[in-house]
A and B are shown apart, each in its own frame.
Chain A
Amino acid sequence: MHVFHFGDSDKRLFGVYHPPAAQTPAATHGVVVCQPFGHEYIRAHRTLRTLARRLSDEGCHTLRFDYYGCGDSMGSGEESTVTQCLADIAAAIDELKDMAGVLRVSLVGVRLGGALAVLAAARRRDVDRIVLWDPVIRGDTHLQELSALQAEWLAGRTYMAVEDSSEIIGFPFSNQLRTEIADVDLCGVPKWPGRQTVVVTSLGVECTGLREQLERARVPSTFQQVSSSCDWTRPAAVHKALLAPEMVQQVVGAFERRGAA
């Protein structure tokens, strides 16, 4: 494991590189993990670290990183934008290719990170496989769900008036960020990127329209659902660490037996 900063000098990003486990054959495949956003990022952190470790055990060069304005990366939450996140994913892909010597990478995207992964991959030709974990399909629907979650979570906490209506569960969502998220629509991506797409969903998550979109695009794809919930929309879970061994297993499964492919 190697922790480091990368990217533009005025917008340094925090990254954690997990090299392939020593016992695996020399690997030529890289995986960039595109994290979820806001409180979902906090909830998922340790589980995504486990995922990265498991992927490195499978022989993948794996990079986790924080978007600008998120986690340990530079910038404040008020500066977060979709445009910047897409630039950050591009920088992470380039960084992993450079440091691991791989030619192509796969992307694992969780929630909004899934939508960002697809949009970032659509801008380049070196993305091999895209694995989506409970991906956000439509940004406007996602914002509605987040707002409803915030309202429901606050409903039982009368001592906590929220003056700043732009915040959602502890994180600022600027007008620009909201506008850009609202414009996200994976069913409207004109040319679906990547050689293959794997969609893994937890209990209760539906990917309305995505299957049809992938069939239209004639992209080889598989859809898998696990029997446990990630509780993305349950108010009592907004501060609970995400434990999702089944989801991790399914995502790792997308890379198993890959070896040095």
Chain B
Amino acid sequence: MTERPIVFGSGCSLVGVVTEPRKGVRAADRPACLFLNAGVIHHVGPNRLHVHLARHLAELGFLSFRFDFSSRGDSDARSDGLAFAEATVIESREAMDMLQKNHGCERFVLMGICSGAVASFQAALADPRVVGAVLIDIAAYPTTGYYLRRYLRRARSLESWKNFLRRNLPGRLLRAPRAPEEAAAPGEIETLFGTFVLPPRSEAERAIAGLLDRGVRLLLIYSGSWTAYNYRDQFKDAFPGLMKRGAIQVEYYPDADHTFTRLASQRRLARTVTDWLVRKLPEAGTQNAA
């Protein structure tokens, strides 16, 4: 395994690190992996997750690239005033251009957590070279099962009853609760940049279907602290037609937090991602590369 820091980009200087398999392994035969910023965390990823994954993937023959979008991590700010959402697509494509030119990579898998998942999804829509995406704690659509679990948990929660009494009893018989750290209403996602409003379900379904039509495979992972998702089959219940097509794998880690802070959850995430890449991706998207 070798690593090389790179400065690239046309709008400004973007910084990243290429991780290559050992000499003799032809990485261009497999899709290259791009790790996109999780919020404002720089390219090493939350708890250095991207570094661990990149090196593990290199042992399996995958080339990867972790880099910082403009105004993130080690990268400069753009001077053209481009909106961040647009810049992430342009800069992801520039990263792919650089890897194609320098390493002969023609197929790519994008991976991101939270806002990085949103950026991965948008870049996948924009670029036919993307054959797979690992989307962690991305948008989730509420279902009947979601609401049942949500209200059942609330009914079981002593704090919920205290809140109810606070709202309905005169005076301040109970102290005000502490502000929740990880709260998001259904239909909205709290990111480090503010609230991300979900597109309508039909719009999301059309976009995902378009990716599947292109042969793109998706791995969706939801953590237990992502309050917009609360049971394993929520995505399947929200999009039964999409799941039947067999190109989407969904994992639910109820015991993991949003940034996979536990070492055990980091190891489990790495296993899931690498297993998925090895089993599902080597052959995916060859029609695009042809």
| B74 neighbours in A (Cβ, 8 Å) | 1, 3, 16, 49
Partner of A159, one of B43, B254, B259: B254
Number of B positions contacting A (CB below 8 A): 40
Closest to B40 in A: A241
Chain A residues whose C-beta falls within 8 Å of the C-beta of B256 in the assembled complex: 160
Chain B binding surface, main DSSP class: loop
CA distance A74 to B43 in the complex (A): 15
Instruction: Please tell me if the beta carbons of B264 and A164 are within 8 angstroms of each other in the complex.
Output: yes
Q: How far is the CA of A39 from the CA of B73 in the complex (A)?
A: 15
Contact of A3 among B15, B48, B265 (CB under 8 A): B15
A45 sits at the interface (CB 8 A) = yes
Nearest-Cβ distance from residue B8 to partner chain A, whole angstroms: 11
A236 adjacent to B44 (CB under 8 Å): no
Question: Chain B, 37-50, contact with A by CB distance < 8 Å: what is the 0/1 string?
Answer: 00111111011100
Are B44 and A42 in contact, with the CB atoms below 8 A?
yes
Task: Known A3-B5, A45-B73; judge A162-B48 contact (CB<8 A).
Answer: no
Query: Would A163 and B264 count as touching, CB distance under 8 A?
Result: yes
In the assembled complex, the Cα of A172 lies from the Cα of B262 at a distance in Å of 10
* Distance to closest chain B CB from A25 (angstroms): 24
A169 CA to B4 CA, complexed, in Å: 28
Complex Cα gap A163–B44 (Å): 24
Residue A232 CB within 8 A of the other chain: no
Across the interface, do A72 and B44 meet the contact criterion of CB distance under 8 Å?
A: yes
Partner of A170, one of B3, B13, B47, B72: B47
Task: Assess the A77–B48 pair: CB atoms within 8 A.
Answer: yes
A72–B3 Cα distance when bound, in Å, is 9
Contact for B263 among A70, A157, A172, CB less than 8 A: A172
Contact A71 B46, beta carbon cutoff 8 Å:
no
Which residues of A lie under 8 Å from residue B266 when comparing CB positions?
170
Please name all residues of chain A whose beta carbon is closer than 8 Å to the beta carbon of B224 when the two chains form the complex. 159-160
A-B pairs with lowest CB-CB distance, top 9 = A170-B47, A3-B5, A170-B261, A241-B40, A45-B42, A167-B263, A159-B224, A71-B44, A159-B255
Interface residue from A3, A39, A161, A167 paired with B255 (Cβ < 8 Å):
A161
In the complex, whether B174 has a CB less than 8 A from a CB of chain A is no
Interface string of A52-85 (1 = CB under 8 A from B): 0000000000000000001110101100000000
CA distance A45 to B260 in the complex (A): 19
- Complex interface: chain A residues within 8 A of B263 (CB): 164, 167, 170, 172
* CB–CB B73/A72 < 8 A: no
